[in-house]
Amino acid sequence: MRKYQTHKDYLLESLKDPKEAALYLNAAVEENDPAFLLVALAQVSKAHGMSNMAKRASITRMGLHKIISGRGNPEFKTFVRLLHESGLELSFKPRAMAA
């Protein structure tokens, strides 16, 4: 019998790739919803292993869980640190102007 992979497992596996994670987070940013962006960041963090991410970002595992929870509100430097530890960087581009 063929072993099937769940969507969650597939997502977490694909988010280990920084290119895929960048596309995923960019799509989340386009939703213009900070809570949704935190959910996406949580998925990327889970893909890299919560304990591992917390250690590399110099925060506690509980602190990381709090940050990426629905009640979380990470400081900008913590957000950027989590991106960095996921192999990502923050960048800006001009907004498309309506004609």
Q: Is 91 left (phi over 0), alpha (psi -120 to 50) or beta?
A: beta
Q: What is the CA radius of gyration of the chain?
A: 15
pLDDT in tens, 11-58: 999 999 999 999 999 999 999 888 888 899 999 999 999 999 999 989
Nearest CA to 47 out of 78, 9, 88 is that of 9
pTM: 0.82
- Domain boundaries, given as residue ranges, for the chain: 7-85
Half-sphere exposure in the Cβ direction for 29 (13 Å, CA)? 11
> Distance of alpha carbon 61 from its chain centroid, rounded?
15
Q: Identify the burial level of 56 via C-beta atoms within 10 angstroms of its C-beta, where 0-12 means exposed, 13-18 middle and 19 or more buried.
A: middle
